[in-house]
């Protein structure tokens, strides 16, 4: 994704003895202090849910994908990002997103991918979700960037590390977003952000922390999404 005030790139090293590559860097855009969320108030509509990673969506626009574990808060963050609390259904039961959900904005599509790591899903269902996600990441010509959500309270799981490898292989720009920071103190959240970035081999400029509940980091993420598709920064 396009760099704003801060710059970065693909990160090498990090945790596990410094021998892991981080996913391709995508620095965040940092707007002026107190700048409004540039995605609030823009028209947005649900286009549909699709089982085919090669589905044709018209009109052709850049796509930003949201990916994360099934209980990481993707739908909640998507709603906060566009300022529409009821746009993406938020379920008390994880694993409800099983298809590719497309949301159209004037300049781009936000694409909610199926969550991974849902223990109650059958082995065949999990394999199907993986195939759908892999197909989408590897084949979408208009995929401009990936927002990878991770719960800041938990260490990277086996599924998170497998997804990390898939993101590396996809050669797509990735922003790592740590969710649910309101569950920690400000200092603890900052420490965890540094620790998790190091363990995943991610560049510090490539990660940020958010709280959908309080709006922390949401304007910055929205500005980064717009910059990723070639729009103006706030």
pTM confidence score:
0.85
- The Cα–Cα gap between 173 and 231 comes to 16
Please indicate, yes or no, if residue 133 is contained in any of the structural domains.
Answer: yes
- The Cα–Cα gap between 121 and 155 comes to 22
Query: In the chain, how many domains are there?
Result: 1
- pLDDT reported for residue 231: 74
- pLDDT reported for residue 70: 82
Please indicate, yes or no, if residue 10 is contained in any of the structural domains.
Answer: no
Mean pLDDT, contiguous 10-residue spans, the chain (234 residues)? 36 39 68 86 94 95 94 90 84 60 96 81 77 94 95 93 92 93 95 94 89 92 92 55
Q: Domain range holding 153?
A: 16-228
Please indicate, yes or no, if residue 47 is contained in any of the structural domains.
Answer: yes
- pLDDT reported for residue 117: 77
- pLDDT reported for residue 90: 61
Please indicate, yes or no, if residue 146 is contained in any of the structural domains.
Answer: yes
Please indicate, yes or no, if residue 60 is contained in any of the structural domains.
Answer: yes
86-121 as b/e, with b when 16 or more CB fall inside 10 Å?
ebbeeeeebbebbbbbbbbbeebbbbbbbbbbbeeb
- β-bridge pairing 143-151 and 174-179: parallel
Torsion angle defined by CA atoms of residues 93, 95, 99 and 104, in that order, rounded to the nearest 10 degrees? 60
- pLDDT reported for residue 128: 82
* Enclosing H/E stretch for 115: none
CATH number (domain holding residue 46): 3.40.50.300
């Amino acid at each position: 994704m396009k760099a704003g005030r801060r710059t970065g790139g693909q990160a090498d090293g990090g945790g596990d003895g410094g021998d892991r590559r981080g996913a391709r860097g995508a620095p965040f855009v940092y707007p002026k202090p107190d700048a409004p969320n540039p995605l609030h108030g823009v028209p947005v509509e649900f286009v549909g849910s699709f089982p085919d990673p090669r589905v044709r969506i018209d009109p052709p626009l850049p796509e930003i994908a949201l990916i994360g574990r099934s209980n990481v808060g993707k739908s909640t963050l998507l709603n906060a990002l566009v300022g529409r609390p009821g746009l993406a259904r938020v379920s008390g039961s994880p694993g409800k997103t099983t298809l590719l959900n497309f949301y159209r904005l004037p300049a781009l599509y936000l694409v909610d991918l199926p969550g991974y790591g849902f223990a109650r899903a059958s082995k065949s269902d999990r394999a199907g979700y993986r195939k759908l996600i892999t197909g989408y990441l590897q084949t979408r010509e208009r995929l401009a960037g990936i927002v990878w959500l991770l719960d800041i309270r938990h260490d990277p799981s086996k599924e998170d590390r497998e997804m990390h490898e898939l993101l590396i292989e996809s050669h797509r720009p990735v922003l790592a977003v740590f969710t649910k920071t309101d569950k920690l103190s400000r200092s603890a959240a900052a420490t965890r952000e540094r620790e998790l970035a190091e363990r995943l081999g991610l560049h510090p400029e490539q990660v940020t922390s958010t709280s959908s509940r309080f709006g922390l980091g949401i304007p910055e993420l929205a500005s980064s999404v717009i910059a990723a598709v070639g729009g103006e920064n706030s």
